[in-house]
Structure 1
Amino acid sequence: MTHPQYPPLFPQQPPAKRSRGPLLLVGALVLLLVAIVATGVVLVVKRSDDKPAAAAPAARTKPSDPTAVEFRRVLMVKAGTCPSPAPAGTACDAKGMRYTLGKVELDGSNVTEVKSALQEKGAGGWYVGLTLDSKGATLFEQLTAALAKQTPPANQLAIVVRGQVVTAPSVQSAIAGGKIEISGGYTRESAEQLVGEITG
């Protein structure tokens, strides 16, 4: 005896589809990670385009020894060998020029800050900057005003660091404000070395 085929009471369900939720979550996390890495690369690239940290001024304190730096009038200049030790009232520069100098008009006790920095204009070389206190700024302005009225070499101002003339520029006019720049072919290393010699 045959039994009629009845449809099952619970028809078979097709296999359940796997949820795509975890896959979407993983995909979203991967995209987020890629975005973060890309942003980091952009920031690194942007940072490398900025001015190098070396261009930023490196300021130091005032000279530990007031006699480490002196500002003196130039009375006479001549080429030749420099005796060691130099006679009183004389000093030489690195090029062998011998200077006969006047008295010390101001010194390291008037310097409040010494720094090396990269020039923003011109050739872009390094320089050493000195900042004077209010008394030093007044004395320096008076000194440069007097020198500007003289003829060479009496219009030159020698900046002497530990017994050596580091620069002796001609003065054309009074210099106010108490900011002094010593320049002349310095590299970062030589400017930092001069800063170290001034500050001790």
Structure 2
Amino acid sequence: MFVKLYPENPNEKEIHKIVDVLRNGGIVIYPTDTIYGIGCDINNAKAVEKVARIKDINLKKANLSFICYDLSHISDFTKPLNNHVFKLMKKHLPGPYTFILPANSNVPKLFKNNKKTIGIRVPDNNIIRELVKELGNPILSTSVRDEDDVIEYTTDPELIYEKFADLVDVVIDGGYGDNEPSTIIDCTSDELEVVRYGKGEIEL
């Protein structure tokens, strides 16, 4: 299924249809405020494993992230945040950032690597946030990469559909994506650290 949605005002009927697909273990490719992502409902183990196969990643070793609707949603899955981290996230979210945080017991086992951490995103994109809100659970977030040596990320949703149509259930066309990933900030120790500089600028 190839669905055109507009970030300013995503069509509610289409959002409901896509959420039904997610609830039934479907895989969806969606726009964010950076690159296109591929994901599923984090509570559906089979779907998470399918995403891992498509991306050829090892779930035990991978640093997986998921997308929450807002800050209060994040606190359902992380250990209590210190004041500095909370203020930093409040200032920068929604936005092109991934915050690595200590996971709590609400995070499905599949997501917990040996470090018991989780990457959290709240993208500045209404399409994916409305999907998360309607679903009621976070959505797995991993980037759609390109095999091309020069172009790391595919930005054209129609090309993404051509490539992934047989592997996923829905590709959302939310316009051209970016080709720069999110900035990753590790907040798991007292010293905050930028692990990857991406689209988002940040001062720790």
Normalised-by-shorter TM-score class: under 0.3
Task: Name the structure, 1 or 2, with higher relative contact order (CA <8 Å, separation 6+).
Answer: 2
- Greater strand fraction, Structure 1 or Structure 2: 1
Q: TM-score, normalised by structure 1?
A: 0.22
Q: TM-score, normalised by structure 2?
A: 0.21
